[in-house]
Each structure stands twice: as C-alpha cells, then as structure tokens.
Amino acid sequence: MTVLRYYQKAMLEYGLSVANPLWFVKMRLGKTLVAIRWVSSLVTHGMVLVTAPYSALYSWLDELEKEGEPTVTILDGNTHQRRKQIDQLGSCLADGIHWVLVNPEFHLWVPELAALPWEIVVHDECTYLTNHKSKMWDFYSKQFRHVPTRAGLTGTPNPEGDEQFWPLCTAIEPNVFLESSYYKFERNNFGILPNHKRLTNARGGAYISSRLAKYAYFLTRDDVNMGGEKIYQVVYVKMPDKTREVYRVAEKEFLLESSGVESTTIYATTKYIWLRRLCSGLVDSIQIDTAKIDCLLDLLVGELAGQQVIIWAHYTDELKMIAVAIRNRLKRSVGLVYGDVPPSRRRTTMAAFVAGDIDYFVAQGSCHRFGANLSHCDTMIYFSSAESALTRQQTEERTIDLSNRKSKLIVDLVTYDTVEVDIHKGHARKEGRQSVMRRLIQGIQRRTNAAR
C-alpha cells in the first residue's frame, strides 16, 4: 500500500474529525487515495458509492486496485443493462466493502440508484453540484439524505464565483451555511454588477470564509511546496483576408440573433460555433485556410522541436485536422482522443504517449481533464480552448509533476481580433460561458461601429 505523505495524513485526520468532509484540494495532491483510506477507516462492509466524471472513474479503479480492494463495480451501459446491474447489487452484497463507481448522470436513466443501502457516498470532481437549479443537484442533495456519511472532492469548488459554494457544500454538508435557500445566501452575501456578475460584499467575504474554515479543508501545491511553475505564452494567429470577410458576415448574423445573452436563440448558438470554427480555418468540415495549423506546425518543428507535446482542441474536426497535418507534413506519430473514442482506447493511447511511443498527444479536454497523469510532458498547446474555465483549469494540471519544481510551458494559439480573444480573457478571469458571450457581443458591436 502507498505510504501517505505528511499532508495527506493531515487531510485524512480532518476527514475523520467531521461528519461530511469537503476536500477542496488542488489536483495531483492525492485526494483520491485519502478518500479511499477515509472510507476504509469508517466502514468494513457495505456499499460505497463514488460519483465522478467518466474519465475519472478509471483513476479510482487504478487506486482501488493498488489498495487491494477486490470488489469494485463500474456501472455503465444502456438503460436495461444499468437496471440489471442495480438489481444485482441489491441482491448480492459483498462481505467487505463493495465500491460502486458511476458517472454523475447515471441517475437520469436509473433513479433507483438512490434506493440502495449506501453506507457512504463520495462525490469526486464535484463541481457538477454547483448549479442549484439542475436536476443533478436536486437528485443528489435530496435523494441521498438518508445516507449516513457523504464527502466531496474537488480542486475548484467555485470555478465561476463564490456563489457556487452554497449549492456544492449544501448538497454534501447542509450545516456549512446558515441560509436555508440559495436566494437568501445570494441576497445576504452578494451584490449584482451591471454585467450580471456577482460581487461578494463585505459581510459575505467574512461570513463565507469563516464557515468554510470550519467545515472544509483547502490545500494547494504552493502550501506544500510541490509541483512546477506554469509559464504561459500566447501566440497570435492572423486570420487570412478571405476568411476574415466570411468571419465578419458571421459576426453580424450572430449579433442579429443575440438580442440578449439569456434569450439567445439556437440560431445564435449555431453561428457562435461557426465563429469558433472559422478561427481554425474550418467551415463545417471543410478547411478553407491553413493559417492556424501552419502556426502550430511551425512551433512543433521550431521552438518545440524534439519534444513530446500535448495538443488540446475543442472540436473533433480540429483534432482530426491536426492529426492529419502532423502525420502527413511532419511524418511524426500522433495519439488521437475525442468523444467517440472508447475509454479502453483512450487509456491505451495515453499509456503509449507516457511510454514515449507517441510524439504528440492530440485530445479533447473533456476526455482527459480528470485523473490523467501526463506529468512526464513539459509542454502543452491549446489549439482551441474549451469554453469552460473549469475544463481549462483541469487540463492545465495534467502536466504538473509533484516530485520536482520543473516549469511547465502552456501555449495558447489565439486568432487575433476574434472570439478566441474573448474566450482567452474569460479564462484568465475565470468567467463562465454567459460572461464570455457578453464579451463577444460587446466586441462585435465595437468592431461594427468602428467599421461604419
């Protein structure tokens, strides 16, 4: 069994001292292992439920295997298969601990999940509980109140603002905040700015920090002097004139459809996607220019020559375009991972990259933002970034190596004077999609007015 580091022992002691622990611990500090030891310290038999994004479930599986836990089930498949798995769980309980791993969305197909006799529920990467209006929050906060013990793990408990602490904490430990509803919490602790962004007031700053200090455990890599510094570099790409003409037309159409962010139509969303794909030189699946892909290849054969590199992109067509360009023009090996690639192949591809058998790892951030250890690699490039600030944070952490302080390079390819600039600024300020959309609309309006 793995020996706990000194700070992991402190994390475990905290978990055993409270009813429902909240580990707000930055990625790569070993909170999964601590949670496993915490469960083992509390129960010796019965069923333990772990809910986590699909890509993180296999990290749990690996850790449980290392810990010698023999009875582990990942629930997956179609609705019929899932219901059959639930029935089997209910009829044959293990003598020891039976670990059950599920994706948080599992309940949408099989709500009977809540009826099983769970001893402990662990919510990993639990930012899926930050929206108090969602069906997921409603299900896990209300249907699991009968479970004796619950826990939450995440390194980013409030990716878009302090107001997200209330739903996340309340779903796991209802005593963290004194307010019985989110609206009371918001009214007491926040002011609303003209751009709809919430600003923590003086009362809220003191109140929220004091309540969290009592119930939650915070830890960063800086606290334990571990992990390397992240060095950021932005490389701007100039959009070719012909593509720019198409882009300006798409901007105007997007603006016409966007009477307001909250009332944005589906047509505006479609045009927003067009804008993003045009930044990479794509119209539908057709490549109309090579400006951005040329910039990427220049980096790979220039400043980054001879290095293994992780390349993130948002759209599947972008990923396929990158892989084809590297194979055909650089004659180098590529590991390609996107949503339709089965989990088993994702793991095989990542293992080959870690072993050095693949030069470039080209992937969607949503596929490997949890659990993936790519710390052997010192460089990653965002060909296009995910809209979610949380996904961005989590993918950045994949290269951090806790065993040394070696710096890691993070390069953003940003098409100048486009929506990508707005997204990049939004990530720097940890803004959500709605704020990015407002920033985009304001930018288009400025450019349109300037052209008159």
Residue 236 CB neighbour total at 10 angstroms:
13
237 and 219 both lie in a single domain: no
Instruction: Please give the chain's pLDDT, 452 residues, in tens.
Output: 689 999 999 999 999 999 999 999 987 788 999 999 999 999 988 999 999 987 678 779 888 988 998 899 988 878 888 888 888 876 555 578 899 999 998 888 889 899 899 999 999 989 999 999 999 999 999 999 999 999 999 988 987 789 999 999 999 999 999 999 999 999 999 987 666 667 899 999 999 999 999 999 999 888 888 777 888 888 989 999 999 999 988 888 887 766 554 444 555 677 788 899 999 999 988 999 999 999 999 999 988 988 999 999 999 999 999 999 999 999 999 999 998 888 888 889 989 999 999 999 999 988 877 767 788 888 999 999 887 777 888 888 888 776 667 788 899 999 988 888 888 887 766 666 667 777 777 777 776 676 66
Which domain, by its residues, includes 402? Answer: 230-451
| pLDDT value at residue 386 | 82
| pLDDT value at residue 259 | 56
| pLDDT value at residue 85 | 85
And the tokens for 316?
A: 């599947």
77 and 112 both lie in a single domain: yes
206 and 251 both lie in a single domain: no
| pLDDT value at residue 439 | 74
Count of domains forming the chain = 2
| pLDDT value at residue 433 | 65
Q: Is residue 57 part of a domain?
A: yes
Q: Is residue 1 part of a domain?
A: no
141 and 29 both lie in a single domain: yes
Which of 224, 244, 270 terminates a domain? The answer is 224
321 and 267 both lie in a single domain: yes
| pLDDT value at residue 151 | 98
349 and 426 both lie in a single domain: yes
256 and 398 both lie in a single domain: yes
171 and 49 both lie in a single domain: yes
Q: Is residue 410 part of a domain?
A: yes
| pLDDT value at residue 261 | 46
| pLDDT value at residue 387 | 75
Which of 192, 224, 256 terminates a domain? The answer is 224
| pLDDT value at residue 91 | 57
Residue 61 CB neighbour total at 10 angstroms:
18
Q: Is residue 336 part of a domain?
A: yes
Q: Is residue 216 part of a domain?
A: yes
Which of 224, 254, 283 terminates a domain? The answer is 224
Q: Is residue 411 part of a domain?
A: yes
Q: Is residue 432 part of a domain?
A: yes
